[in-house]
Amino acid sequence: MEPFSHIDLYINHLTVEKGLAANSIQAYASDLNDFMEFIDTCRIDGLQQVDTAVILKYLISMQKAGLSSRTRARRLVALRGLFGFLKKEGLMQQDPSTGIDLPKTGLKLPVVLSRREVERLLDSPDRKSARGCRDAAMLELAYGSGLRVSELVNCTMRQINLEAGYILVRGKAERQRLVPIGRKAHDSLEDYLGWARPFLLGKLQSEILFVARAGKPMSRQGFWKLLKKYATKAGIDSKVTPHGLRHCFATHLLEGGADLRAVQAMLGHVDIATTQIYTHLTRQQLIQAHRRYHPRG
């Protein structure tokens, strides 16, 4: 059965069984046809090939096109209805819209910096100074591995394995995950550990990777201020936050063609329906996906 026939079936269901008004029916049809045009540009051959990654890319494309959060939210609702109906009718085995949450205020995605803006941001610290070398390594790891700010500032020396090229991240509820360290982040960390960290510590001892005063970890607010300082130095007008940097990590990977399952595994998300699938990825598969698709991998 052709994909547009699926939509026709759903529209007929809304008209006959749900009894929606003509205006509502027209709005649903328009939104769903817009999605069909999008997947056509992505060379996706019908609704059966649509997965969660495709829907996320669609939401990102709408945001970039300047569509309001209300419009994006409405179109997501239309897709949820369609795929839910098709699964219930046995026309699809899985509902790819499951797990994509819709806030009550509408879908709001964090600001995504362009790759050029990220390059400027990461090049802002003075790597010849000890603190600048530390800051550069922090920024590279935050973007290169998609860490939460709490995961970044509390990271210990034991969690880093530069030789193997990964970091063991302790996330929410003490859940652990392995995340690849990109080539640029690896080089920056190697430089930082080689001379800058010993210089900052002096005679002190510390298990903390990125040391601040007295060998203690930097506060979350401290990193936030640090990030704002370098964003200003880089001439970036957009509001840059630690979470936004993490979102850039995920978005740039997805835009490059990375498998959503690998991205979700690296982010440490557990509240998405496909979690059980992507947790079976091996460490080597994650490292290969990161190196292939991340701009600084």
The greatest distance separating any two alpha carbons of the chain, rounded to the nearest whole angstrom, comes to: 77
**Annotation marks residue 252 as catalytic:** no
Please write down the long-range contacts of 122-130, taking CB distance under 8 Å and 24 or more positions apart: 122/184, 122/296, 123/234, 124/230, 124/231, 124/233, 124/234, 125/230, 127/188, 127/191, 130/195, 130/196, 130/199, 130/200
- Among residues 64, 243, 283, 291, the one annotated as catalytic is 243
**Annotation marks residue 192 as catalytic:** no
Question: Which tokens in the block code for residue 64?
Answer: 């970039």
CA distance 34 to 7: 12
- Among residues 88, 108, 172, 213, the one annotated as catalytic is 172
- Among residues 134, 177, 246, 290, the one annotated as catalytic is 246
**Annotation marks residue 148 as catalytic:** yes
- In angstroms, the Cα distances linking 218 to 20, 34, 75, 127, 211 are 55, 47, 42, 18, 7
**Annotation marks residue 294 as catalytic:** no
- Among residues 192, 278, 294, 296, the one annotated as catalytic is 278
**Annotation marks residue 243 as catalytic:** yes
**Annotation marks residue 175 as catalytic:** no
- Among residues 134, 148, 197, 252, the one annotated as catalytic is 148
Catalytic residue positions? 148, 172, 243, 246, 269, 278
